[in-house]
Structure 1
């Protein structure tokens, strides 16, 4: 779609497949704008892993902390090791390190087919739900005050 506005004509394109070079421009531009607006250098990665005796990764909790907030972005345990409490141990280790960094709020997003039951059992509460992904599937934003029971 071509539009003429101002001093120069621009072209708007729509893509169904990733356009990597253009996406990098957007990522870089957004990164620069974010750095100018907020102390993004204070965002710190936080990762916890469970490994077998031979060093194989059996599960992990991956996220970040910033200010008073800790975001758990990914939690995964190998199917053969599920149901043994490893997910709980990973979340609790993640939270403990976040508390040591001064965090007071934990949050995450999870689909209804993932682990909302686990997170509820760990004290997380649904703050928002988005319906409409596929029939019967919703995404939950869940939060928990850290340092509590």
Structure 2
């Protein structure tokens, strides 16, 4: 007989078991051991982190998972520079495209200015917020 449980806050052991189970199933189906981290960052002369781009590459695809610039450095070109550096690193690895997800309150305009195109838009979040899936082909390295 099946026993169902619903959780407001799931125990850590349950979350770990779900992650482990999915990871094992995914490894059996695809060569996920080939996924490689792809990260770049920028610091000031004192070594303080000003921003960074975090993602991964797998085959010919690169996924930008996070791009962050500290508040006082925003709107000065640092986000664009990080994005272009991330793309260049991906192209050197043989990636032919970059994709990412971003919310409407984040920086979709930045990506669109750099040639990304909207693949999908998911609506239904509070305050009219939209989640976008964006993609851009890369020039060969």
Query: TM-score with structure 1 length normalisation?
Result: 0.91
1:23 is aligned to 15
- Higher share in strand: 1
2:128 aligned partner: 136
Match of 2:54 in 1: 62
User: How many correspondences in the alignment?
Assistant: 140
- Cα RMSD for the two superposed structures: 1.0
**Structure 1 stretches of 4+ moved >6 Å:** none
Within-5 A mapping of 1:82-121: 82-121=74-113
Q: Structure 2 length as normaliser, TM-score?
A: 0.96
* Alpha-carbon distance in 2 for matches of 1:63, 1:83: 22
1:37 counterpart = 2:37: no
Secondary structure, in 3 states, of the residue corresponding to 2:119? strand
Higher relative contact order (CA 8 A, sep 6+): 2
Structure 2's unaligned 5+ residue stretches are: none
